[in-house]
């Protein structure tokens, strides 16, 4: 795809000390954010955490209660919405049904009396690979194609900053995944700054250079996707971005580069540089795919943590991997994801099992332990599916 006239630089976006209070409700609290020009930035968080409000503040559709907004180094806090170098693509594309694709894309340019509106509209449509359908009407297009028209309509204005508010929300899963890759490649081509808002962690990780995880109007952690995934700092991040096994106990000693934590009587090591706190009661964690499952007690080895024995209480096969739940006395349930290397489950339901992991894979959270729930059950679809299954099984047993 040729970037052509769209190869203009995006602009930095800076939010400084933003608060947004609605009557009786604080939607955004002390938000500081700096998005470098030309980056693809994702704001990730559950429904109601303040994502749309943040975008509306940037677009100038809401005024912050306090704080400042800078675009390209220029303070736009008092600048009217239509004068900001910003365009928004919403979840509902809101294309004009009576206009052709081309007219939809050219509309804004024409209204502002910009020269060569049609030529520019064709160029934007070429960018989203839809120029050959420019004479069609929106209802003659698929959902994914309509979404691309909406994107062309926003890009044609050459905004320094493009805001995307869950723009793929209306698409089915397969098309969504395809559009994620396309959006990312369009962003790379045009070089504009994209601020993408989503509640879908996979979407945020697939597309963005930088992800900011938002919870209750505040940013809990921000960084490159791999960095957030490998080293979450709070229980919320550990469970919103993928799943984590979390355990709480007192730090009992220090051993070389590690702290030693007493987890229900077992000594567990966590690298100091991966632990946010080194004394007192701490919550530590490890990702389910980092765990090895054993059917006999593994030999103690330096650099390895072992928990068990426990009992396998659930085995769910999901194609590429199998998810095991291991109930360990005093610890609750441990989740293990095992890649499917052989046919059938490796470990059977009801079997005795141990888990082990390399010390380097553990992490220690900054949260006070009482704020560390084992699973954020309302957000994780895999957990919800498992809960539903347990409920169904219980019902069948009762009947």
| Residues in touch with ligand ADP (CB under 6 A) | 22, 25, 27, 45, 47-53
Q: Which is nearer to ligand ADP, 104 or 221 (CB)?
A: 221
Q: State the minimum distance, in angstroms, from the CB of residue 161 to Mg ion.
A: 18
| Binds 53: which of Mg ion, ligand ADP, none (CB < 5-8 Å by kind) | ligand ADP
Q: Which is nearer to Mg ion, 103 or 166 (CB)?
A: 166
Residue 372 and residue 364 in contact, taking contact as beta carbons nearer than 8 Å = no
Residues recorded for the chain: 399
- By CB under 5 A, residue 198 contacts Mg ion: no
d(CA 272, CA 291): 20
Q: Which region, judged by CB under 5 A, interacts with Mg ion, from 28-36, 52-60, 68-76, 283-291? A: 52-60
| Binds 343: which of Mg ion, ligand ADP, none (CB < 5-8 Å by kind) | none
Q: State the minimum distance, in angstroms, from the CB of residue 50 to ligand ADP.
A: 4
Q: Which is nearer to ligand ADP, 58 or 102 (CB)?
A: 58
Q: Which region, judged by CB under 5 A, interacts with Mg ion, from 13-21, 49-57, 150-158, 331-339? A: 49-57
Q: State the minimum distance, in angstroms, from the CB of residue 295 to ligand ADP.
A: 44
Q: Which is nearer to Mg ion, 171 or 372 (CB)?
A: 171
Residue 293 and residue 249 in contact, taking contact as beta carbons nearer than 8 Å = no
Q: State the minimum distance, in angstroms, from the CB of residue 14 to Mg ion.
A: 22
Q: Which is nearer to ligand ADP, 195 or 359 (CB)?
A: 195
Q: Which is nearer to ligand ADP, 52 or 147 (CB)?
A: 52
Q: State the minimum distance, in angstroms, from the CB of residue 6 to ligand ADP.
A: 28
Provide the sign of the torsion angle of the four alpha carbons 68, 69, 72, 78, taken in this order.
Answer: negative
Residue 40 and residue 194 in contact, taking contact as beta carbons nearer than 8 Å = yes
β-sheet with 281-286: strand ranges across: 266-271, 258-263, 245-255, 281-286, 363-364
Q: Which residue is nearest to Mg ion (CB)?
A: 52
Q: State the minimum distance, in angstroms, from the CB of residue 66 to ligand ADP.
A: 16
Q: Which region, judged by CB under 5 A, interacts with Mg ion, from 50-58, 101-109, 181-189, 340-348? A: 50-58
Q: State the minimum distance, in angstroms, from the CB of residue 53 to ligand ADP.
A: 3
Q: Which region, judged by CB under 5 A, interacts with Mg ion, from 51-59, 72-80, 227-235, 297-305? A: 51-59
Q: State the minimum distance, in angstroms, from the CB of residue 263 to ligand ADP.
A: 35
d(CA 140, CA 164): 24
| Binds 50: which of ligand ADP, Mg ion, none (CB < 5-8 Å by kind) | ligand ADP
Q: State the minimum distance, in angstroms, from the CB of residue 301 to Mg ion.
A: 48
Q: Which is nearer to ligand ADP, 51 or 153 (CB)?
A: 51
Among 52, 147, 198, 221, binds Mg ion (CB under 5 A): 52
d(CA 159, CA 161): 5
Residue 192 and residue 162 in contact, taking contact as beta carbons nearer than 8 Å = yes
| Binds 130: which of ligand ADP, Mg ion, none (CB < 5-8 Å by kind) | none
Binding site for Mg ion (CB under 5 A): 51-52
């Amino acid at each position: 795809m040729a970037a052509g006239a769209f190869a203009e630089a995006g602009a930095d976006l800076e939010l400084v000390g933003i608060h947004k209070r609605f009557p009786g409700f604080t939607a955004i609290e002390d938000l500081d954010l700096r998005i470098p020009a030309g980056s693809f930035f994702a704001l990730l968080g559950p429904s109601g955490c303040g994502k749309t409000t943040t975008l509306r503040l940037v677009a100038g559709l809401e005024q912050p209660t306090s704080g400042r907004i800078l675009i390209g180094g220029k303070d736009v806090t008092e600048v009217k919405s239509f004068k900001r170098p910003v365009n928004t693509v919403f979840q509902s594309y809101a294309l004009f049904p009576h206009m052709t694709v081309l007219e939809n894309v050219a509309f804004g340019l024409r209204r502002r009396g910009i020269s060569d509106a049609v030529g520019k509209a064709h160029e934007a449509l070429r960018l989203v690979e839809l120029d050959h359908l420019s004479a069609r009407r929106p209802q003659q297009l698929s959902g994914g194609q309509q979404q691309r028209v909406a994107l062309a309509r926003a890009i044609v204005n050459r905004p320094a900053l493009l805001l995307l508010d869950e723009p793929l929300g209306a698409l089915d899963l397969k098309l969504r995944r395809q559009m994620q890759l396309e959006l990312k490649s369009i962003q790379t081509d045009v070089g504009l700054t994209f601020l993408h808002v989503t509640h879908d962690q996979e979407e945020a990780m697939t597309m963005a250079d930088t992800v900011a995880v938002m919870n209750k109007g505040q940013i809990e952690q921000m960084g490159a996707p791999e960095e957030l995934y490998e080293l979450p700092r709070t229980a919320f991040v550990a469970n919103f971005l993928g799943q984590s096994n979390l355990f709480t106990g007192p730090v009992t000693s220090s051993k070389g580069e590690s702290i030693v934590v007493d987890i229900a009587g077992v000594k567990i090591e966590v690298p100091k540089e991966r632990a946010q706190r080194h004394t007192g009661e701490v919550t530590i964690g490890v990702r389910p795919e980092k765990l090895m499952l054993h059917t006999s007690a593994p030999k103690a080895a330096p650099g390895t943590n072992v928990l068990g024995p426990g009992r396998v209480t659930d085995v769910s096969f999901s194609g590429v991997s199998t998810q095991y739940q291991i109930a360990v006395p005093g610890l609750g349930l441990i989740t293990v994801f095992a890649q499917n290397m052989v046919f059938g489950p490796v470990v059977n339901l009801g079997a005795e099992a141990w888990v082990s992991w390399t010390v380097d894979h553990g992490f220690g959270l900054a949260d006070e332990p009482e704020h560390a729930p084992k699973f954020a059950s309302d957000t994780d679809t895999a957990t919800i599916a498992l809960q539903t299954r347990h409920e169904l099984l219980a019902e069948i047993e009762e009947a």
